[in-house]
Chain A
């Protein structure tokens, strides 16, 4: 439904999607490719911008949540899909951002976009402090350490109840522009546009990062860290920097969440969020940036929209989807897009592109 991307938008952002196998194409100027890609992206953004005029309030609210969590999923994709750092605790930085925005709104100003910007900063600082340790480790140690970081973040949120409100959560005042709150009649639409604007800026920034020489180096590290060393790179620095950046964008998403949801509680920093976001990556296709947004749309719709109809057991459905997706969709929906255009390669496929190499 939200479909914020057309597969062709990003044909060149899906390195391992299995599509470009043949074709000794003449070199196309990347600038032109970028311009061609910009057209569908602009269309998508325009369509999204007009959504509140067509849809009822409930779907707009859901779409708002999709954008918030979608940006979070993209920030995780920067780590998992682009750099090959499988974090299980990325929600920690989302939580840090959410609490920061909430506390800023309570104690200082709920005026947009101050809380979310500070939230982004706080997420980056948290990643700076914890990432140094996490990024030094490899493989399963990284999995475990990031899991520990995530758990400890939500435990802290629970225990520091003088500041965070503990398990009752932290109520957050509604967004204001300048000194005015949003007009009550159009609050949902205004909130949506505010979220959309920040989503577009955040997504564009992450997209540019992944397309930059820095992003290319990250993909190189994902595919073959040793080779990068022999080319003169210091992989640790790149991983550390992208970890901080991803933490910042996660904080930004968390800040938006605080302002939209108007209540932050310890589960928002917890393992469950990291888990369903990984599910979104698996569903949408890691490493494509836009795929995880689609994956997150499915997750949010199942959990928040149909959740009540499922007797509150959306997580059960998500768990089943998760297990199935790991088997049948190693490249997610983005992988499906690749299958339509290219021959199916009989390589050992894996969730993170490029890792099949390890033979």
Chain B
């Protein structure tokens, strides 16, 4: 057992790094969906925007200024994108979920294509900021320091989001809205403002995740789809609108994906789908989802 852990330590750590990133992505997607019934298929495209921003700023040299600048720009872009998405989906709010999903799909196509026009089809690597670009020794394995930092950031964000959700009035509002969507308007709160806020929050997380993930996964066309798919699987497994679900789903999928690739490279996709199928057969509403959604 100890040997097994030793042999696969790198894969396990990689799994945590992926899980960390997935949590940041999935929690936004999950809350946007749980509260607003908007399935935002442009979420992956927003990640891609963040990653390309990181590439653009860090290409001249991986300095802290550039890295933080990329984070700041990504956050601003995410805020704007959230507002735009909110405005664009509003006229369709009364239509079935498919219509809104298709709209965000169209937006995702446009964004991805514009990025392809600007950056072409090349695969880019992105450097980590100085001080974090080295490796450290973890139980005899050398491991990139930045990935450990990424795991730390993921855990930190998880704690912050958890605190916000459990201890603040905003969190209480979100939880109430996930449980009963009528609640928000019944409480006399402007539904549209909540929507802008929630979508902006989700979008900022997506673009920031793009910057944070850049030094690990680089950036390439098509990454948006991969990322969106993994985040969706996390959301389905974890349950819609649940922060705890997003965290545990992300950690599970991170490990399944990473260990799956290491141990069963041919079957990694099957393993992923198998995990998804298993959860849905046992708990159709996801591990921590509200029951009503599955009806």
Chain A binding surface, main DSSP class: helix
Which A245-285 residues sit within 8 Å CB-CB of chain B? Answer: 270-271, 275, 278-279, 282
User: Once the chains bind, are B232 and A141 in contact (CB under 8 Å)?
Assistant: no
Q: Which of B219-278 contact A (CB under 8 A)?
A: 225-226, 229, 232-233, 235-236, 240, 265-266, 268-270, 272-273, 276-277
Tell me which residues across on chain B come within 8 A of A351, comparing CB atoms.
95-96, 98-99, 102
CB atoms of A140 and B97 under 8 A apart: yes
Known: A152-B269, A278-B102. A144 touches B110 (CB 8 A): no
Question: Any chain B CB within 8 A of the CB of A184?
Answer: no
Interchain CB contact under 8 A, B94 and A348: yes
- Known interface pairs A145-B236, A148-B229, A348-B94. Does A159 touch B265 (Cβ–Cβ under 8 Å)? yes
Question: Does the CB pair B107–A323 fall under 8 Å?
Answer: yes
B111 to chain A, nearest CB (A): 8
- Bound-complex Cα distance A206 to B79 (A): 46
Q: Are B33 and A358 interface neighbours, CB within 8 A?
A: no
Residues of B within 8 A of A137 (CB): 280, 284, 294
B107 near A319 (CB under 8 angstroms)? yes
Residues of A within 8 A of B294 (CB): 137-138, 141
A133 and B95: CB pair below 8 A? no
Chain A residues within an 8 Å CB radius of B114: 316
Is A352 an interface position by the 8 A CB rule?
yes
* Chain B positions 91 through 105: 1 when the CB is less than 8 Å from some CB of chain A, otherwise 0: 110111111011101
> Interface size of B by Cβ–Cβ distance < 8 Å?
49
Determine chain B's interface SS by DSSP, over half rule.
helix
User: Across the interface, do B266 and A160 meet the contact criterion of CB distance under 8 Å?
Assistant: yes
> Which A97-148 residues have a C-beta within 8 angstroms of B?
133, 136-141, 143-145, 147-148
Complex contact B105–A350 (CB within 8 A): no
Complex: how many Å from CA A348 to CA B269? 40
Q: In the assembly, what is the distance between CA of A80 and CA of B105, in Å?
A: 16
- What chain B residues lie within 8 Å of A322 (beta carbons)? 102, 105-106, 109
Complex interface: chain A residues within 8 A of B97 (CB)? 86, 139-140, 143
Residue on A nearest B96 in the bound complex, by CB: A355
A319: chain B residues within 8 A (beta carbon): 106-110, 113
Least Cβ–Cβ distance between B123 and chain A, in angstroms: 13
Interface centre among B232, B235, B270, B293 (most CB of A within 10 A): B232
Question: What does the 1/0 interface line of B64-105 toward A look like (CB < 8 Å)?
Answer: 000000000000000000000000100110111111011101
> Interface residues of A, CB < 8 Å — how many?
46
**A148–B273 contact, CB under 8 A?**
yes
Interface membership of B281, Cβ < 8 A: yes
Chain A contacts of B33 at CB under 8 A?
140
Do the beta carbons of A352 and B103 come within 8 Å of each other? no
- Could you say which residues of chain A place their CB within 8 Å of the CB of B168? none
Question: Looking at B33, B97, B113, B265, which has the most chain A CB atoms within 10 Å of its CB?
Answer: B113
Tell me if B187 is interfacial: C-beta within 8 Å of chain A. no
- Complex: A103 Cα to B99 Cα, angstroms: 37
Is residue A315 within 8 Å, beta carbon to beta carbon, of the partner chain? yes
- In the bound complex, do residue B269 and residue A156 qualify as a contact, i.e. CB atoms below 8 Å apart? yes
Tell whether, in the assembled complex, residue B99 and residue A350 are in contact, meaning their CB atoms are under 8 Å apart.
Answer: yes
Complex Cα–Cα for A138 and B293 (A): 8
Is B117 among interface residues, defined by CB-CB distance under 8 A? yes
Q: Is A318 an interface residue (CB 8 A)?
A: yes
Q: Are B101 and A86 in contact (CB under 8 A)?
A: yes
- Check: A345 CB closer than 8 A to any chain B CB: no
B113 x A315 contact (CB < 8 A): yes
A residues in contact with B273, CB < 8 Å: 148-149, 152
Is A326 in the interface zone, CB < 8 Å from B? yes
Is residue A327 within 8 Å, beta carbon to beta carbon, of the partner chain?
A: yes
- Select which of B37, B109, B117, B270 is within 8 A of A275 by beta carbon: B109
Whether B39 is near chain A, meaning CB under 8 Å from some CB there, is yes
CA distance A148 to B233 in the complex (A): 7
Asked whether A151 is an interface residue with its Cβ less than 8 Å from the other chain, the reply is yes
* Residue B169 is within 8 A (CB to CB) of chain A in the complex: no
Given A156-B269, A316-B114, A326-B103, the answer on whether A271 and B225 have CB atoms closer than 8 Å is yes
| Distance, CA A316 to CA B102, complexed state (A) | 15
A320 at the binding interface (Cβ < 8 Å): yes
Is there a chain A Cβ closer than 8 Å to B137's Cβ? Answer: no
- Whether A141 lies near B293 (C-beta < 8 A) is yes
Are B281 and A358 in touch, CB under 8 angstroms? no
Chain A residues whose C-beta falls within 8 Å of the C-beta of B266 in the assembled complex: 159-160
- Asked, given contacts A140-B240, A148-B229, A316-B117, whether A323 binds B98 with beta carbons under 8 Å apart, the answer is no
Apart from the given pairs A155-B269, A159-B268, A270-B225, 10 other A-B contacts in the complex at a CB distance below 8 Å: A144-B235, A155-B268, A156-B269, A318-B109, A319-B108, A322-B109, A323-B88, A326-B92, A326-B102, A358-B96
10 pairs, A vs B, C-beta closer than 8 Å: A136-B280, A143-B101, A145-B280, A155-B269, A159-B265, A271-B225, A315-B112, A319-B106, A322-B106, A351-B96
Q: What are the 4 A-B residue pairs with the smallest beta carbon separation, nearest first?
A: A322-B106, A319-B109, A319-B110, A323-B106
